[in-house]
Amino acid sequence: MSFEWPRLLWLLALLPLCALGHVWLLRRQQLIARTWPGLVGPAQPSGPLGALNAQLPALLLLAALGCGLFALSRPQAPIVLPSQQQTVMLALDVSLSMRARDVEPDRFTAARGAARAFIQEMPDDVRAGIVAFAGTATLAQRPTARREDLLAAIDRLEMQRGTATGNALVVALATLFPDHGLDLEAMQFGGGRPGAERAPAARAFKPVEPGSHPSAAIILLSDGRRTTGVDPIVAARLAAERGVRVYTVGIGTVQGGEVDFGGMSMYMRLDEEALKSIAGMTAGEYRYAATAEDLRKVYQGLSSRLVLERHHTELSFAFAGLAALLASASAGLSLWRRGRVF
């Protein structure tokens, strides 16, 4: 639990002072009763239970005061609620570096198997689209709820040269926002600047808060750094301006895996910093998968993440309502027993 105004919690120190004041008044009342018996009402019940019962209205009032002071600090708690995500774009790296065998049996096979499992476990009301990227990016499957079409698109994926991570994000965004004028060719040959979007749509577009889009998300899986195409940071900024979260998944070991490029072996290392930057800019998350089992767990976690989300909800109203209820109970009990409120 967190607090919007934590400094106001110091007001809870008033509760012991109120309790001491009440004790002082009780002792003063007992002194008056011994000195002038006729001035005090009926004797208080004897014994621990009797004394506790007699002071119940005061205890309820003290609890009401505590709840009210606690509410002033504006407490907040994370509550898991159903997500509104309805369209998920899977951007899968199919570059030749995915042949590395530091993930069994190799990165590409593990990624394809995990993507299939993700599609099969998605809720029925979620649509998914698939973007494949290597030296360029293509829309392998438009967003659909038909699981068989998505699985068939994953099975058709083939590896190619190059890694155009930024292109994958632009293609995914252009699919999610077909009326925003996102032109991959113009951006790529125009230097990758946001201004390379088609002018009429760009003028009509108004940026929103990162991560605020309620019904779309992108999952980007890659194993290496970008070698061509649009700058991924520029593409991530476009996603952030549209409120789309990008969840990045890094597959492979940090040390890298050996890949044969026409008789020449090279070690392809995972570029975690780039993937973390993309996720951070869009209010998304970065996940690391060093094995095929790790990758399956990551996809399972993302599936749950897209169905259920944590929201920080203010609980002041609950504590304020409890304070009012306790105060009413205290006043009613005192009125019933003594014919007056305290």
Q: In this structure, are 209 and 92 located in the same domain? A: yes
Q: Which residues pair with 66 in a beta bridge?
A: none
Q: In this structure, are 170 and 97 located in the same domain? A: yes
* Percentage above 90 pLDDT, the chain: 25
Q: Do the domain assignments include residue 120? A: yes
- Selected residue with higher pLDDT from 13 and 46: 13
Q: Do the domain assignments include residue 298? A: no
d(CA 313, CA 81): 10
Cβ(108)–Cβ(92) below 8 Å: no
Q: Give the chain's domain count.
A: 2
Contacts by 320-324 with C-beta closer than 8 Å and gap 24+? Answer: 320/67, 320/68, 320/71, 322/64, 322/67, 323/64, 323/65, 323/66, 323/67, 323/68, 323/71, 324/64
Q: In this structure, are 212 and 66 located in the same domain? A: no
Residue 340 is predicted with a pLDDT of 59
pLDDT by residue (tens digit) across 180-195? 888 888 887 654 444 4
Q: In this structure, are 136 and 164 located in the same domain? A: yes
Q: What CATH number should be reported for the domain holding residue 254?
A: 3.40.50.410
- Model confidence at 153, in pLDDT bands (50, 70, 90)? very high
Q: Do the domain assignments include residue 303? A: no
Q: Do the domain assignments include residue 299? A: no
Q: In this structure, are 130 and 279 located in the same domain? A: yes
- Model confidence at 104, in pLDDT bands (50, 70, 90)? confident
Q: How far is CA 179 from CA 49, 171, 192, 210, in A?
A: 73, 13, 19, 19
pLDDT by residue (tens digit) across 318-333? 878 887 887 787 777 7
Residues 27, 31, 37, 40: is their CA dihedral positive or negative?
A: negative
Q: Do the domain assignments include residue 305? A: no
Mean residue pLDDT across the chain: 77
Q: In this structure, are 113 and 225 located in the same domain? A: yes
Domain that holds residue 319: 2-78+313-338
pTM above threshold 0.75: no
3-state SS class at 310: strand
Q: Do the domain assignments include residue 36? A: yes
Q: In this structure, are 187 and 159 located in the same domain? A: yes
pLDDT reading at 294 higher than 90: no
Q: How far is CA 20 from CA 14, 32, 43, 56, 62, in A?
A: 10, 18, 22, 16, 11
Most confidently modeled of 13-22, 58-67, 231-240? 231-240
Residue 190 is predicted with a pLDDT of 58
Q: Do the domain assignments include residue 228? A: yes
Q: Quote the tokens at residue 277.
A: 């930057």
Q: In this structure, are 274 and 129 located in the same domain? A: yes
pLDDT by residue (tens digit) across 263-274? 555 556 678 888
- Model confidence at 14, in pLDDT bands (50, 70, 90)? confident
pLDDT reading at 50 higher than 60: no
pLDDT reading at 56 higher than 50: yes
Q: Do the domain assignments include residue 302? A: no
- Selected residue with higher pLDDT from 314 and 196: 314
Average pLDDT score over residue span 21-45? 63
